Structure 1
Amino acid sequence: MYNDDDLRSAVDAGIFSEEAAAAFRHHLAGRTAAAATAPAGSPDEENFRLVTGFNDIFVVIACALLLVAIAWIVAAVSSIGAGLVATSAVSWGLAEFFTRRRHLALPSIFLLLTFAACLFAGSATFLPEGVAGLTVSAAITAAATWFHWRRFRVPISVAAGAGALVGGVIALLVLAIPALENGLPLLMIAAGLAVFALAMRWDSTDTLRQTGRSDVAFWLHLLAAPLIVHPVFTTLGIYGGRGSLAQTATVAVLYLMIALVSLAIDRRALMVSALAYVLYAFSSLFKTFGMVSIGFALTGLAVGSALLLLSAFWQQSRAAVLRYFPESLQSRLPPSR
């Protein structure tokens, strides 16, 4: 079965033109749409490419050893910043082979993250300390990841660039208006909602989850989830050490709302991001009532059972939720099966 990476490789090799590849994708999308309307269909498991084989793991280990060695040697003869920038440059060079030519999934993700992280940290060492320097470093990283995306089309590149851009914008706002530092949770929520909207935009262009656009949306959802969930739950004082019944009930209601949103968009990242807060809130409640030794075990039993039940009946639950959505909105979401 052909996938988007195979077509991209064929285009790079000159076997197909871009127009022919686009027409072939359109043809396959039409056939997939027809199959999706059939009565029987396999549930959507939110697939994304991570490992194509053990060779991916082997290559990542080798790349890690090489990059650590380069950073160490350059830092020893020059500076830590120079070592980090050199590591970023070598990561790009390795991507020219393992990403652009070999299309290895896990090494591509690893090399992109190494490229972006080392560039951010390395450029920050050459800039003034403080918020201003971090803002410039974030802007450089965001621009570099955009060029990386244009060159290699690694799905996580968009999320990495968005993350750098979000950090840079928040830092710039705090630098311009210092009073906003007290409103960081609200800034994070606003940034998370913006990334979430971008993820939904990518998702809406591939509701059948058949192309790399769905992978881009997956990583964006993974970035948006903690940006939205973390400030909401920390504002409630979840880690205050006191597990009250009212606080736990609030957490449960919020998690139920998150679950409904996750069902509607057919993405589980929001639920995973909020899971730690739910576990902590219920464990604290059990401890309040004197069940210190088995509080976490009881919480894991209840929450784990509920999540497994939801997983088993995910598509049926989605169908029940989508029933209340207008047709215009349902057309932008993955179809229920």
Structure 2
Amino acid sequence: MLKPDILHRAAAQGLLTPEQVDPLVDFINQQNDADLNTAHDEEQLKFVRNFGDIFITIGVAFVAMSIATMNLQSWQWWLAGGCFVALAEWLVRQRRLALPGMAILLSIMYFVAQAAGLPEIDLFADQFSSIPSLLLLAGCAGAFYWRYGMPFSLLPMALSLVTIALIGLGEQLLEHQWLFTLIGLVVFSIAITFDSKDRQRKLRWSDCGFWLHLLASPLIVHGIMTTLIFSDSPLLNALGNEILLISFFVVFMLVALLVDRRAMLVSSSSYGIYAIFTLLENSPVSAENLPLVVFIGFGLFIIFFGTFWYRLRTVIFRPLQNSRVANLVPDFTDK
């Protein structure tokens, strides 16, 4: 930010008139505020500020992995967890370091699981024995969020609760893959609730929504894509499973554009590539070059879509500016 005294010195040397200084300072400050607001509106990765955060996280990971390889007794695992809680008090509560805090939380959850002798989680075999494990892990993540307010904590907490729901469904998941989508939509609705509290993407609420979107998206995409791929429904076969795959990918892309969450597209990329491969099986392009052609086309699409993200969002969704949907998502403006 330009300091006013620099402009006053310029005026003293005759480069500016004294009457121009104050209006110019106001103009520069307005431009800086506009740039700051634009930066906050972007889907930034707020959990890492500089390489120092990465460096500290590497140190936390070294200590955690070293402890994890030890043959410890139950009370020793609890002691390790307590030491990492003390580390969280220093690095997360006092220094507000998010990335190291993520590594600390995952380490604490692992130490607690070892200390409590929790069994391995299995969705289909001896299903209900895993529920206490998941409840304890969800409680750890929830307590971490309550104490430190770290948005990432909601991801392992929600993942544990989602896994409990999947365990409850059990064998039905093998027959009804769309249940993944149903659970994903529940998580997605919670994420949108967080987003709606912070449409300008300046507060912690939008960060909470970001992590929940990362969980909701693969659940939604997996359920629908596997249903389309392996369905024996005559209606779906008549419409063409490949065309339906591409159509869903386009719709999902538009939803990500609407809620202004690029991260949602990551989970659908692999399924989108599969659908494209299926459609191009009978193309004149040789099979040897087909994968390269697909990846080149997909890469160019990502470059174009990422570059003109806000312009496309404005053009497509501006008619919804005064609708109820607009109250849940960021403004439809071309930044």
Which residue matches 1:172? 168
Q: In the alignment, is residue 62 of structure 1 matched against residue 55 of structure 2?
A: no
- 1:320 Cα deviation after fit: 2.4
- 1:45 Cα deviation after fit: 2.7
Mapped contact 2:41–2:202 kept (Cα < 8 A): no
Which residue matches 1:270? 264
Mapped contact 1:146–1:157 kept (Cα < 8 A): yes
In structure 1, C-alpha distance between the alignment counterparts of 2:306 and 2:79, rounded to whole Å: 44
In structure 1, C-alpha distance between the alignment counterparts of 2:43 and 2:67, rounded to whole Å: 37
Q: In the alignment, is residue 259 of structure 1 matched against residue 253 of structure 2?
A: yes
Which residue matches 1:154? 150
Mapped contact 1:163–1:223 kept (Cα < 8 A): yes
Which residue matches 2:207? 215
Which residue matches 1:329? 325
Change (3 A) 1:45 1:54: same
Task: Give the percent of matched residue pairs that are identical in Structure 1 and Structure 2.
Answer: 28
Moved more, 220-229 or 54-63: 54-63
Q: In the alignment, is residue 188 of structure 1 matched against residue 180 of structure 2?
A: yes
- 1:305 Cα deviation after fit: 1.5
Moved more, 195-204 or 51-60: 51-60
Mapped contact 1:70–1:83 kept (Cα < 8 A): no
Change (3 A) 1:85 1:311: same
Which residue matches 1:49? 46
Change (3 A) 1:221 1:127: closer
Which residue matches 1:144? 140
Of 109, 115, 125, the residue aligned with 1:116 is 109
In structure 1, C-alpha distance between the alignment counterparts of 2:243 and 2:117, rounded to whole Å: 43
Unaligned runs of 5+ in 2: 2-29, 231-238
- 1:237 Cα deviation after fit: 2.3
In structure 1, C-alpha distance between the alignment counterparts of 2:330 and 2:80, rounded to whole Å: 40
Q: In the alignment, is residue 103 of structure 1 matched against residue 96 of structure 2?
A: yes
One-letter identity of the residue aligned with 1:97: W
- 1:86 Cα deviation after fit: 5.2
Mapped contact 1:222–1:270 kept (Cα < 8 A): yes
Mapped contact 1:159–1:220 kept (Cα < 8 A): yes
Mapped contact 1:50–1:105 kept (Cα < 8 A): yes
One-letter identity of the residue aligned with 2:312: S
**What is the RMSD computed on CA atoms of the aligned residues?**
3.3
Q: In the alignment, is residue 199 of structure 1 matched against residue 186 of structure 2?
A: no
Q: In the alignment, is residue 320 of structure 1 matched against residue 312 of structure 2?
A: no
Q: In the alignment, is residue 306 of structure 1 matched against residue 306 of structure 2?
A: no
In structure 2, C-alpha distance between the alignment counterparts of 1:190 and 1:321, rounded to whole Å: 27
Unaligned runs of 5+ in 1: 2-31, 239-244
- 1:256 Cα deviation after fit: 0.7
- 1:300 Cα deviation after fit: 1.5
Deviations 1:86-130 (A, max 9, x none): 554443232111111111121012212232345346646369983
- 1:184 Cα deviation after fit: 5.3
Change (3 A) 1:72 1:157: same
Which protein has the larger Cα radius of gyration, Structure 1 or Structure 2? 2
In structure 1, C-alpha distance between the alignment counterparts of 2:119 and 2:302, rounded to whole Å: 47
In structure 1, C-alpha distance between the alignment counterparts of 2:225 and 2:244, rounded to whole Å: 10
Mapped contact 1:131–1:171 kept (Cα < 8 A): yes
Of 226, 244, 252, the residue aligned with 1:234 is 226
One-letter identity of the residue aligned with 2:66: A
In structure 2, C-alpha distance between the alignment counterparts of 1:184 and 1:86, rounded to whole Å: 43
Q: How many residues align?
A: 293
Mapped contact 1:70–1:86 kept (Cα < 8 A): no
Mapped contact 1:204–1:333 kept (Cα < 8 A): yes
Change (3 A) 1:181 1:278: closer
Which residue matches 1:92? 85
TM-score under structure 1 length normalisation: 0.76
Which residue matches 2:7? none
Mapped contact 1:56–1:106 kept (Cα < 8 A): yes
